Amino acid sequence: MKTIALIAKPKKDEAAQLARQFKLAHPTLDFLVEGHFAEQLGWVATGPAELRERAELVIVLGGDGTLIHAARLLRGRPVPILGVNLGSLGFMTEVPVADALTVLESVLKGQAQITSRMKLSCKLVRDGKTVLEDEVLNDIVIAKSALAKIADHETWLDGAYVATFKADGVIFATPTGSTAYSLSAGGPIVHPSVDCVVVTPICPHALTQRPIVVPADQPLRVQLTSEVSDVFLTIDGQVGQALKLGDRLEVMKSPARVQIVRNPHLDYFGILRTKLHWAER
């Protein structure tokens, strides 16, 4: 392993300090950085395509949003991602700053623990034409704006009618994303080793419409069947698209996965307790 990409949260001084420490500790390694981070460090910038093609390890210096950005940048390449938490929560960026150099050493020696996370792919179809295709690590969200009326979301699984969610929106979350927006909307926590999709209606009109966990290998389809304005599709919180009546969203398990380097001192339930205070009395 000779080439490492450093993906940092913009304007984070601590990220620049860590990057310099990495380079000082490993002067023979080739470190690739994006434009904004290169400017901050005074290093040579690497374009997204070259970074994606050459990186053998990605080190994320930031929070979960930065890690999602890194996963999107890789576009399915099975490159391990070491997330160093410089954010406020850091649920996926498991490694604290104090352990960053030690964990990097374990990766370079081939001794790191790596977990494989499921992704979803989605396709937005309008008038028979595909207008958007993408992949997500966390979630796909259909939601209205603050002043828009609730909408009807006709949902199908593998050709079988599930329900028409009359709600502010619907969240389709991976197990990784089950602890994000879906959890805030009343969805369950799902262990990341379980391949499934959590379907969570947002503020449903009927109390009988509850979140449901469905198999990941069966395609989901949701169609907007009511005439409303200001309804949006958001992909991993980073890409948005306005929706129209009749738009159809197709969601399925992606063949690509994201490889995340584990914190050797903390298992998944320890992360739940540490980050979410889960199961505390």
CB 30 within 8 A of CB 2: yes
Angle, vertex CA 1, rays to CA 113 and CA 119, nearest 5: 50
Angle between helices 13-25 and 100-108 (to 10 degrees): 40
Is 64 a known active-site residue? Answer: yes
Report the candidate in 6, 20, 115, 99 with the shortest Cα–Cα distance to residue 61: 6
- Categorise residue 159: left if φ over 0, alpha if ψ from -120 to 50, beta otherwise: left
CA dihedral 275, 277, 278, 281 (to 10 degrees): 170
Largest pairwise CA distance in the chain = 61
The catalytically annotated residue of 13, 30, 64, 230 is 64
Cα 160 to Cα 56, 58, 121, 156, 218, distances in angstroms: 42, 40, 20, 5, 10
Q: Percentage helix, strand, coil, to 5, in the chain?
A: 25, 40, 40
SS3 140: strand
Q: How far apart are CA 35 and CA 69, in angstroms?
A: 14
Q: How far apart are CA 71 and CA 32, in angstroms?
A: 15
Give the residue numbers marked as catalytic.
64
